[in-house]
Structure 1
Amino acid sequence: MKQLISILLFLIGIQIIAQENINKPNIIHILADDVGYDDLSCFGSKDISTPNLDALAAKGMKFTSFYAPHGTCTPSRATLLTGRYSPRINNNQGLFVLFPHSKHGLEDELETTIAELLKEEGYTTGLYGKWHLGHLPQYLPCVHGFDEFLGIPYPNDHGPERIGNSGWRPNGVSDPAIPLIEQAQIIKRCDNNDLAELPALFTREACKFIYRAIKEQKKPFYLQYANIETHTPWFVPKGFEGRSKAAAYGDAVEYLDTSVGIIMNTLKRLGIEDNTIIVFSSDNGPLVHRDKELENCYGKFGFTDPERKHMLREGKYQERYDGGIRVSCIMTWEGQIPAGTSCNEPIGAMDLFTTFAELAGASVPNDRIIDGKNIWPLMSGQPGAKTPHKAIYGFKPKGGISSIRYQNWKLVLAGKHWTGELKEHHLFDLSTDIGETTNVADQHPKLVNQLVKMANEAAEAVQNDKKLN
């Protein structure tokens, strides 16, 4: 009799867990690579058409002051997965851009990812596309909580054609052909023709992952779809070239939009649109300057048009101006996030860590500093909801601050940078000057001093692994 009761209690427990899993929202993060703030038509683009992302925005909320954590791929992706600004990562060692010869990456023993938290809550987790947090086996996604991984471990332009032309390659050593990795195994070394077809492969496999989670495993899922085609070289599958008015880069963004449409159609066919949170954002801003090495290697697929205008100043590789870190963001959850709405409260990608965790019922780690905040009040359109941050900081990947966003103000700190040296602080009023063209620091000296003090205190707090105010 006792054995029978034990079996019944066990079966009831399984049923309760299954019911809890059914009620947990699926989560999809479409993480675009190097896509500019105004490179979606719903964010103002005139030469790139993104009907599927526009439809996503119509179903949900646009966040118009959403900040990527850093101006380059690796530190930005580390932050959004851990909820921690990059200088805190790996015992305050920080992470800068990783390359095929890099011997380090995101340390599993030191960091906890959102995938790990959700997996503990019964989620099945998958990443399709680009990783860029370490290519050695001990750093790959499946070590960091992802059940499934199919993708490339670093950018698609880190191949053998770029031998020795950049200062960051040791002794001019050529990189190997880009590896396509499944779980932890290299299944193929890709030439440029292969790279052009990978975006379609990642889309198909991401859809299969969704199907398996819902129909076979009957579990909620977390999917990071990290596209590669909007990063140089801008290769797209055959038949999709020449469709945009913005050359190869525009074709790549439009292909990403096509992939979004395919994924959305999968959700519709499975009938899970009303229980799936979808977030679209970019890891950093776009290329805005010509790069002769990229042009020599990839021709039109590596050509950045310097005459193409953007709303924001500058682009990737820097945290000084908004063009490097302020990106378009769309969030939808049918019936939960109000449709056709917009939010201009300053928030950051690190907030996704905390928000996803709490919506899934996971506990946010309390044994380390987490910079991300729960932004559900903003996402759900609660009246009077404000940003949970005193300020958003433009942290350099290894420490120090380039800029600070406070309310509608943006302070760019003096100092040396590849974009040029600033001998004094520059202040911009983003409510009237989104392009950061007019320095008004002389008109607001007290505010400048206040923001400099805040920036210094934040830099010191991160350096000493303390909470930001």
Structure 2
Amino acid sequence: MSLRKLPIFLLFISVYFLSFSQEKPNLIFILADDLGYGDLGCFGQEKIVTPRLDQMAAEGMKFTQFYAGSTVCAPSRCVLMTGQDTGHCRIRGNGPEEAQTLQPEDITVAELLKGQGYNTALIGKWGLGELGSTGHPNKKGFDYFYGYLNQRHAHNYYPPFLVRDSTVVPLTNRPDPRWDSMRIERGWEKNGAGFAEPDGRLAYSHDLFVEESLKWVREQSESENPFFLYLPLTIPHANNEGTRGTGNGQEVPDYGIYETESWPEPNKGQAAMITRMDRDIGSLLDLLSELNLDKETLVFFTSDNGHHKEGGNDPEFFDANGPLRGMKRDLTEGGIRVPTIAFWPGKIEAGSVTDHIAGFTDWMATTCDLSGATLPEGTQSISFLPTLLGNPDEQKEHEFLYWEFYERGSKQAVRFGDWKAIRKPMFDGKLELYNLSEDLGEENNLADSNPEKVAQAIQYLEEGHVPNPLWKIKK
């Protein structure tokens, strides 16, 4: 090669590698429903079998201090989508429709990614806006939607219908006629909640979501655009209405490898749902490998809150919260610290474990870093991309993480460094203080002996809450 041509060659190589380094990865966010911190083998579970998620952790990164946006469904999902914590976001609890609907000014992760050329899909449970509302997925950045729009509908694993974009899609499942009066009284006929009769359980919604997801990802392999798949699964949430009607809300087509266990039926169902979810996530990972998309795709798995005690399930039998205290609807660690795995071959070091303190708010900033989008003002979002890529020295940290919750008398919580404070009721209740580095189970309240930390916690609790007329403490 002549010296005259060398600069041109070097320029070509530089441009090539620059463009390669700036390619936008595909993004898949998988959200389990009510999965506890200790429900996976890679997080200490001994009874429930989860080989594919364990493998995902062994080949990816495990987060040991990752936090859900809230301790129940809707607000946690709102935090994830908007990058705002429950002291700032619109949807701060499970409530009436007017308080459960995203508005045009609530910018979502999907809207930001769509603006960067991503194809976007939501398959599963939404919970942030009904048909015809401003919060419908198609109005919040998703090109394609298939699933449940509201949470009570999502309780029913054999529903009479699902929704595709704005079209109601009838299914072959038949509601149990023995409970007609209950369905009419509770309004289940309208929103699709309830439960199917034993012989009318023909189409299991989770299986439909998996089938639809695999189909959609395969279609994306033929597109020149990157894609974002938000896959909020309903497993292993209980069918609360089914529990009232039959005593067993752990709806699953079969108990699989747990069929012969001498466990109560709801426990078999709980384990079978988690293992079924594990199998299906494995199928999605296998498809990415088959399509040669695995090295171009960040797959992120977590849960919307801690484990539940519904549907007849006994979480103590499975030690579902592991070393943590509390569960869904608590702001102790068992209600908000969730099992989390990131997988990106060639980018994330296999078998890595991080104790970086992060949470649902941070998904938005991370996707902005990955896609080139601009992070909106007013979020509490910090990108954890440096952690994913093995650059902890470049990782910014939160001054504090904040939660508020309006059920069961209301409560607030804040995590700052090793310290965690909980105040209940909100604003004027007694404050509990724990040092999580020494007391992960939050058993020793240190408030009386640490007045400076108490004062700091109160400052953060006051700073974290921005009043919203839709959310007031019930007297």
Q: Which residue is 2:348 aligned to?
A: 337
Shift in alpha-carbon separation, 1:157–1:180, aligned structure 2, 3 A: closer
Kindly indicate whether the alpha-carbon contact (under 8 Å) linking 2:307 and 2:327 is maintained by their aligned counterparts in 1.
yes
Distance apart, 1:51 and its partner CA: 0.8
TM-score, length basis structure 1:
0.79
**Letter of the 2:146 counterpart:** L
1:248-279: CA deviations, max 9, x gaps? 11111111101110100110100111110010
Alignment match, 1:146: 142
Describe the superposition over 1:2-34 as per-residue Cα deviations: whole angstroms up to 9, x where unpaired: xxxxxxxxxxxxxx9xx8899210000001111
2:258 counterpart SS class:
coil
**Are 1:402 and 2:409 counterparts?**
no
The 1:118/1:30 distance shift into structure 2, 3 A limit, reads same
Contact 2:82–2:109 at 8 Å: present in 1 too? yes
Selected match of 1:249 from 263, 270, 276: 270
User: Cα distance 1:147–1:414, how it changes in 2: closer, same or farther (>3 A)?
Assistant: closer
Structure 1 residues 62-104: Cα deviation after superposition (integer angstroms, max 9, x where no partner): 11111111111111101101111234334xxx442157xx356
Q: What is the root-mean-square deviation of aligned Cα atoms in Å?
A: 3.1
Match of 1:111 among 106, 115, 135: 106
Partner Cα distance (1:95, 1:178) in 2: 29
CA distance in 2, matches of 1:395, 1:322: 14
> Aligned pair in 2 of structure 1 residues 52, 317: CA closer, same or farther (>3 Å)?
same
2:25 counterpart of 1:25 = yes
Deviation at 1:108, TM superposition (A): 4.0
Three-state SS of the structure 2 residue aligned to 1:277 is strand
Alignment of 1:281-292 (within 5 A): 281-288=302-309
- Distance change (3 Å), C-alpha of 1:435 and 1:160: closer
* CA deviation vs aligned residue, 1:113-172 (integer Å, no higher than 9, x gap): 1111111111111111111112232232112111111111223666799xxxxxxxxxxx
Alpha-carbon separation, structure 2, partners of 1:268 and 1:206: 15
How far is the alpha carbon of 1:308 from its aligned partner? 4.4
CA contact (8 A) 1:278 1:332 kept: yes
Against the structure 1 CA distance between its residues 443 and 196, is the aligned structure 2 distance closer, same or farther, given a 3 Å change threshold? farther
Contact 1:157 1:232 survives alignment (8 Å):
no
1:128 has 2:123 as partner: yes
Going from structure 1 to structure 2, the CA distance change for 1:46 and 1:87 (only over 3 Å counts) comes to same
Is 1:183 the counterpart of 2:131 in the alignment? no
- Name the aligned partner's letter for residue 117 of structure 1: L
Q: Distance in 2 between matches of 1:77 and 1:195?
A: 29
Task: Specify the alignment match of 2:472 in structure 1.
Answer: none
Query: CA-to-partner distance for each residue in 1:159-194, whole Å, 9 max, x for gaps?
Result: 799xxxxxxxxxxxxxx9664011111112654355
Matches within 5 A, 1:38-117: 38-90=38-90, 94-98=91-95, 102=97, 105-117=100-112
Change (3 A) 1:181 1:391: same
Q: Which runs of 5+ in 1 are unaligned?
A: 1-15, 162-175, 295-301, 465-469
1:391 to 400, 408, 412: 400
1:214 aligns with 2:214: no
Does structure 1 retain, via aligned residues, the 8 Å contact 2:83–2:381?
yes
Q: Distance in 1 between the 2:234 and 2:292 partners?
A: 28
Instruction: Report what 1:372 is aligned to.
Output: 381
Match of 1:170 in 2: none
Instruction: Write the deviation string for residues 268-297 of structure 1: whole angstroms up to 9, x where unpaired.
Output: 100111110010011111113xx5xx5xxx
Which position in structure 2 is the counterpart of 1:317? 329
2:251 corresponding residue in structure 1: 235
Alignment pair present for 1:428 and 2:434:
yes
The alpha-carbon distance between structure 1 residues 196 and 389, as it changes in their structure 2 partners (threshold 3 A), is farther
Q: What is the CA–CA distance in structure 1 between the aligned matches of 2:156 and 2:234, rounded to whole Å?
A: 18
Task: Tell me the distance in 2 between the aligned counterparts of 1:95 and 1:429.
Answer: 27
Normalized against structure 2, the TM-score is what?
0.78
Distance in 1 (CA, whole Å) between partners of 2:429 and 2:463 is 21
Identity of aligned residues (%): 31
Distance 2:100 2:315 in 1: 33
Change (3 A) 1:160 1:389: closer
| Aligned-partner Cα distance in 1 for 2:402–2:41 | 28
One-letter amino acid matched to 2:360:
A
The letter for the 2-side match of 1:286 is H
Residue number in structure 2 paired with 1:258: 279
Using a 3 Å threshold, how does the CA distance of structure 1 residues 195 and 156 change in structure 2: closer, same or farther?
farther
Q: Secondary structure at the match of 1:128?
A: strand
Separation in 2 of the partners of 1:408 and 1:326? 14
| 8 Å contact from structure 2 (residues 87, 465) kept in 1 | no
Decide whether aligned partners of structure 1 residues 343 and 363 sit closer, same or farther in structure 2, where only a CA change above 3 A counts: same
Aligned residues: 408
Q: Counterpart of 1:86 in 2: which secondary structure?
A: coil
Aligned-pair CA distance for 1:325: 0.9
For residue 346 of structure 1, what is the aligned residue in structure 2?
A: 357
Shift of 1:231: 0.9
User: Is contact 1:98–1:134 with CA below 8 Å preserved after alignment?
Assistant: no
The one-letter code of the counterpart of 2:327 is: G
- Do the aligned residues in 2 keep the contact of 1:122 with 1:219 (CA within 8 Å)? yes
- Per the TM alignment, residue 458 of structure 1 is displaced from its structure 2 partner at its CA by 2.1
Determine the structure 2 residue equivalent to 1:169. none
